[in-house]
């Protein structure tokens, strides 16, 4: 097999080949091929890390959320070694600024066999942080059609999107401290209802 990993998005296929990332984007019968050198490009701004918008963080987990695969960019951004990541729970990079209600939303979706987009703040081994726009989807056994694990392809989020989501997450955290995860979820649903959008539509509106 000439490629290392293949990921199917809604209208795209990402092939990870040693040294390069091939991103096929389909539009009806036509397609465009973008070839990008898979170079780790990390920018440090105080405690915040950012990565090149053309690169992808990729990881896979088993059904219990234990990491089974981490690409080089994930390893480099997280500050953990591959040995430290493989077999560890994915929440090893969870940042305390993230509302628990968001992770419940993510798990509910993927465990139901659905995909979801989300903005997530991660924490590195040395205490720094980085934001991602994550696309998380379940993997299925081709014969039984049962879920066998989950994979996540993450890219750099838009700054406009972060400006919108950070205040919401801060309010959700406050709600969680006062009334638990149920209060946090209700607050998010109320905000989305006022905007007349779903969480995913809200996230994708900034891309």
**pTM of structure:** 0.81
Please tell me what DSSP assigns to residue 130: E
**What's the pLDDT at 194?**
96
**What's the pLDDT at 118?**
97
CA angle at residue 170 from 169 to 172, to 5 degrees? Answer: 60
Clarify whether residues 100 and 153 are in a common domain: yes
Clarify whether residues 31 and 65 are in a common domain: no
Cα 182 to Cα 77, 114, 123, distances in angstroms: 32, 22, 24
Residue 88 lies in a domain: yes
Clarify whether residues 124 and 74 are in a common domain: yes
Residue 170 lies in a domain: no
Identify the band that residue 129 occupies on the pLDDT scale cut at 50, 70 and 90: very high
Clarify whether residues 116 and 68 are in a common domain: yes
Clarify whether residues 108 and 137 are in a common domain: yes
Clarify whether residues 55 and 134 are in a common domain: yes
Residue 119 lies in a domain: yes
Clarify whether residues 25 and 46 are in a common domain: no
Number of domains in the chain: 2
In whole angstroms, give the CA distance from residue 85 to residue 78. Answer: 9
Clarify whether residues 49 and 140 are in a common domain: yes
Q: What is the CA radius of gyration of the chain?
A: 17
Virtual torsion, Cα 103, 87, 113, 155, nearest 10 deg:
60
Clarify whether residues 93 and 129 are in a common domain: yes
* Mean pLDDT of the residues in the chain: 86
Residue 11 lies in a domain: yes
- pLDDT tens figures, 99-122: 999 999 999 999 999 999 999 999
Residue 134 lies in a domain: yes
- pLDDT tens figures, 46-83: 999 999 998 999 999 999 999 999 999 999 999 999 99
Clarify whether residues 100 and 11 are in a common domain: no
Residue 185 lies in a domain: no
Clarify whether residues 67 and 33 are in a common domain: no
- pLDDT tens figures, 154-190: 999 999 999 999 999 999 999 999 999 999 999 999 9
Residue 201 lies in a domain: no
**What's the pLDDT at 41?**
79
- The CATH number covering residue 107 comes to 3.30.450.20
Is pLDDT of 38 > 50? no
Contacts of 121 (CB under 8 A, 6+ apart): 95, 97, 98, 129, 130, 131, 169
Is pLDDT of 87 > 50? yes
Residue 186 lies in a domain: no
Clarify whether residues 57 and 147 are in a common domain: yes
Range of the domain at 9: 1-38
In whole angstroms, give the CA distance from residue 44 to residue 38. Answer: 19
In whole angstroms, give the CA distance from residue 45 to residue 29. Answer: 42
């Amino acid at each position: 097999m000439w490629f290392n990993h293949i990921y199917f998005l809604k209208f795209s296929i990402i092939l990870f080949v040693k040294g390069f990332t091939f991103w096929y984007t389909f539009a009806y019968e036509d397609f465009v091929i973008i070839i990008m050198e898979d170079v780790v490009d990390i920018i440090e701004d105080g405690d915040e890390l950012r990565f090149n918008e053309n690169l992808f963080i990729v990881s896979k987990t088993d059904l219990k959320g234990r990491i089974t695969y981490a690409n080089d960019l994930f390893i480099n951004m997280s500050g953990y070694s591959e040995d430290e990541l493989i077999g560890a729970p994915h929440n090893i990079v969870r940042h305390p600024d993230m509302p628990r209600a968001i992770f419940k939303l993510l798990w509910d979706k993927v465990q139901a066999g659905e995909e979801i987009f989300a903005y997530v703040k991660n924490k590195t081994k040395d205490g720094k942080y980085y934001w991602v726009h994550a696309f998380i989807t379940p993997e299925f056994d081709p014969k039984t059609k049962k879920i066998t694990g989950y994979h996540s392809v993450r890219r750099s989020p838009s700054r406009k999107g972060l400006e919108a989501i950070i205040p919401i997450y801060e309010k959700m955290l406050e709600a969680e401290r006062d009334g638990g995860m149920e209060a946090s979820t209700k607050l998010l649903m109320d905000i989305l209802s006022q905007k007349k959008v779903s969480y995913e539509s809200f996230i994708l509106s900034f891309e």
